[in-house]
Amino acid sequence: MPMPTTHTHARTDLTAPRVPSLPAAGKSLVRISRNRREIQYVVLSAIASMATERPQMFRSFLADFFIKATDPSFCRTLKLRILTALTDSANVTQVLRELQTYVKHSD
């Protein structure tokens, strides 16, 4: 009669919690934000909140937060909050250029 065997996997660092990759989480949220307006509002609200604490999650997706002519006003407001949170010395010129375009063509 075969005896059951126990397989164990040793984990060397038991104190460190497993944290998902922040850039991957940011990428997923940005992708979801391209959905319907109702979903877009909820996701952009979450991104705006997260971007104030961890802007590095979303900096590589800066252009995704540029205002589009078809964006409803509530999404425009959230995108402006996000752009403000993501602005640093490396991308300030790009953000200012976008804001100038927005001011010129805003309705």
Percent of the chain scoring above 70 in pLDDT: 78
Token output for 102: 């927005």
- Kindly state the tokens that stand for 100: 């100038």
Q: What is the pLDDT of residue 2?
A: 61
Q: Does the structure show a pLDDT above 90 at 103?
A: no
Question: From residue 94, how far is each of 32, 59, 62, 100, 101 by CA, in Å?
Answer: 24, 12, 9, 10, 11
Q: 6 pLDDT exceeds 80? A: no
pLDDT above 80 for 89: yes
pLDDT for position 18: 55
Return the amino acid letter for 39: I
For the stretch 23-63, pLDDT in tens is: 778 888 888 888 888 899 999 999 999 999 999 999 999 99
- How far is the C-alpha of 26 from the C-alpha of 32, rounded, in Å? 10
Distance CA 79, CA 61 (A): 12
Residue 96's pLDDT band (cuts 50, 70, 90): very high
**Residue at token pair 């944290």:** 19
Tokens of 30: 């940005």
Listed residue (46, 68, 42, 41) closest to 57, CA to CA: 46
- Tell me the C-alpha distance between 41 and 58, whole Å: 17
Band of the pLDDT at 12, cuts 50, 70, 90? very low
Distance of CA 45 to the CA centre of its chain: 10
